[in-house]
Structure 1
């Protein structure tokens, strides 16, 4: 009984951690379509669709793994490759591409020969978010599988799917047989369908990806000189001893900006020790509008953020009038609430957030129309409720530290005291 309760608690906690209220239907779906039978197996097309609105897979790209149900081997692949061949010593004539029980597959890099390419392949494993670029949110490859069975009844579904993209955080469910995929011929006059199809759904959990946040948020405003910084050690201070100052001579050494295989960061020394900081500045106040400046700063000397995205939840985002130097798209997780928007870089202009240094930042300004029923500068209303960078939620300052309006109670008491003084002066003068 105790084990059942523990299992229930684990499932509940995992689902809660993986659930994203701003993207409730977001997932990566891996579709496996058997297109033809061979002498000892089949040829399949494996398609990875990223249905997440604002979380993409950045360089160095996705890594897909699974465990064969029987003694399958991979004879050949187009558009991808396995990282290891495994022990193929029992094969004499033709040598398979991979004989491992648990193969690990990666995408090919751009520029490979044409005969090794497949549609939507060869992007180095980079897959855009569906909400940002639907056409680039797909990755695919072709695989020829042997010793697998040659009919729907003899083929066994692979097990234990894993997806890394490019780090941990994704959990994949079991493969499930679904209705066969239909395809339209190039002349669009005839439909064909796969001989067999199964799907695997993978969901992301920031809780599983890392124990500390990967970004933080700071605030400032025109009506208060106080800047609310990121909290100290927001992203953990385990890199405190290896961080470098912005004027350190180590930054002139060759190769210091080269990413490492273990993705170890080289952070600029800050009190928050985060790779990324988002700053929200309430800049101007007009009669019917108000203006906000947003700045994203990269403090990691070993990381370029490609296809970066910034998601912000604020009640006045339902009245965005103009966004300068960023692309913007509203996100509507609930039909009746439009308080969330996605900002991302303009293609070939600022869609690459450079590593730490003089060029390691991107900035924009947002003009918003006031909603007279709700707009206020009081009690931190002008600051966002949630901020996500590249799909991970950033740590916000404590509400009691937000820039506040000048104390109006004190200003209101002065005229009252002046009035009392005047009354008393008149009384004494009359005497």
Structure 2
């Protein structure tokens, strides 16, 4: 972000000098351009993407059978329930005769067919994953997970989803088949932008007996990248801070993710002791993912609390608590990414999994945390059990360590890949003597200025 702002300032100055354009207008336009770029580019995972691989396995009388595989190559961003949706536009008049491990959300107009009716006749089909428990004869490898895909670091074996399509009216050779266009990935909402399908090196498949490789007849690749700016207009999480050396608790800023507005927009949030809470939770299954947020000053679905707990001679200890304020929604396979300069000396994590992220080469200042399977990998819906917590122990680096000026607090926090709003640094819980020391410096400066003015006056 600092680099971007610097570039904006340079560009603005040169534009004013050369063209005499309004400084305010230039600054506004350039700041918008910079904001979009930095938000779309993930500095913590610069090469992260979702790749869709389309492998034509065999020819049929009027088309082909293809295996479509979705690989999540993002380090910490995963696809949670209700799962992915993949859509595209056919290049010709193709139809989907059958699907295995997935289904189209709409059949479309198949009235021109008699007898054998295709699974989907839409020119722009949307495909979704099947759920666990699907009959075995409707499954293929890596299908039927309800559209949920793990991030690459959390579980690379579950960072893949696949399905099979039998495509008709498509051509029966490499020369007659056309690549689909306009790929769109929703996971589960917007945020991903997909590039065009490109021909790639044919994929090799291992036969069931493990003794022979076969090769796809054709392979296409589609790359999709994520932008939080496109995914949502408002933040989805915030950070609060506290410490053992200061009684002040720095809460999330008011209206961080929105404001309570039940007068003009009823149902914006609900109080935990409201008599309507029980009835609001008894809803139809199809609306399970519609947000029902607990009323707070910050109105964020997720709050991350960082508490500097203890100071030892050679170590210091932090407690991290993640609270879910959404009723009727659980976060499965959640993860937390935190930046702090002392993570190179992280010694012990007590009840989370941990992996270092090293986006800047040898600098190890970013940690990824996620839940332990069957213990706290499910962040329950809002309520008394809607939180997970852990403690971490860090060794003191004598060249860096200090409790002064908010150094002990994180620089950035991400929940499920979204950047959480931090309190402004000037309100961090400082050491008790830090404010006094600053006050003395201020008084000294004022006294110096006053004396200088008196001397000048006497001259």
Q: Tell me the TM-score normalized by structure 2.
A: 0.85
- Counterparts of 1:100 and 1:412 in 2: how far apart (Å)? 68
Match of 1:198 in 2: 220
Give the alignment partner of residue 74 of structure 1, picking from 82, 96, 113: 96
Worse-superposed segment, 181-190 or 325-334: 181-190
Q: How much does 1:18 deviate? A: 1.8
CA contact (8 A) 2:55 2:68 kept: yes
- Counterparts of 2:61 and 2:31 in 1: how far apart (Å)? 47
- Counterparts of 2:289 and 2:396 in 1: how far apart (Å)? 43
Mapped pair 1:95 → 2:117: yes
Worse-superposed segment, 331-340 or 253-262: 253-262
Change (3 A) 1:280 1:258: farther
Match of 1:175 in 2: 197
Mapped pair 1:269 → 2:291: no
Mapped pair 1:26 → 2:48: yes
Change (3 A) 1:239 1:40: farther
Match of 2:400 in 1: 374
Q: How much does 1:128 deviate? A: 0.6
CA contact (8 A) 1:259 1:303 kept: no
Q: How much does 1:188 deviate? A: 3.6
Change (3 A) 1:33 1:11: farther
Change (3 A) 1:75 1:408: closer
- Counterparts of 1:76 and 1:239 in 2: how far apart (Å)? 48
Return 5+ residue gaps in structure 2 as ranges.
1-29, 441-459
CA contact (8 A) 2:260 2:297 kept: no
Residue by residue, what CA displacement relative to the aligned partner does 1:185-230 show, whole Å, maximum 9, x if unpaired?
A: 3444322210000000111111011111000000000010111110
Match of 1:301 in 2: 327
Q: How much does 1:411 deviate? A: 7.9
CA contact (8 A) 2:82 2:289 kept: no
CA contact (8 A) 1:256 1:302 kept: no
Q: How much does 1:10 deviate? A: 9.6
- Counterparts of 1:303 and 1:56 in 2: how far apart (Å)? 16
Match of 1:233 in 2: 255
Q: How much does 1:112 deviate? A: 1.1
Change (3 A) 1:284 1:9: closer
Change (3 A) 1:185 1:265: same
Mapped pair 1:312 → 2:338: yes
Q: How much does 1:17 deviate? A: 2.8
Mapped pair 1:216 → 2:243: no
Mapped pair 1:135 → 2:161: no
CA contact (8 A) 1:257 1:301 kept: no
Match of 2:385 in 1: 359
- Counterparts of 2:38 and 2:249 in 1: how far apart (Å)? 34
- Counterparts of 1:12 and 1:373 in 2: how far apart (Å)? 34
Residue by residue, what CA displacement relative to the aligned partner does 1:391-421 show, whole Å, maximum 9, x if unpaired?
A: 101000000010001125858999xxxxxxx
CA contact (8 A) 2:288 2:328 kept: no
Match of 2:364 in 1: 338
- Counterparts of 1:213 and 1:75 in 2: how far apart (Å)? 42
Change (3 A) 1:165 1:39: same
- Counterparts of 1:103 and 1:14 in 2: how far apart (Å)? 30
Worse-superposed segment, 229-238 or 203-212: 229-238
* SS of structure 1 residue aligned to 2:342: helix
Change (3 A) 1:228 1:204: same
- Counterparts of 1:20 and 1:135 in 2: how far apart (Å)? 23
Q: How much does 1:256 deviate? A: 4.0
Change (3 A) 1:348 1:371: same
Change (3 A) 1:211 1:220: same
Residue by residue, what CA displacement relative to the aligned partner does 1:302-344 show, whole Å, maximum 9, x if unpaired?
A: 2110110000011111111111111111111122211111111
CA contact (8 A) 1:28 1:201 kept: yes
- Counterparts of 1:281 and 1:11 in 2: how far apart (Å)? 36
Change (3 A) 1:349 1:109: same
Q: How much does 1:260 deviate? A: 5.6
Note the aligned Cα RMSD (angstroms). Answer: 2.2
* SS of structure 2 residue aligned to 1:37: strand
Change (3 A) 1:161 1:231: same
* SS of structure 2 residue aligned to 1:30: strand
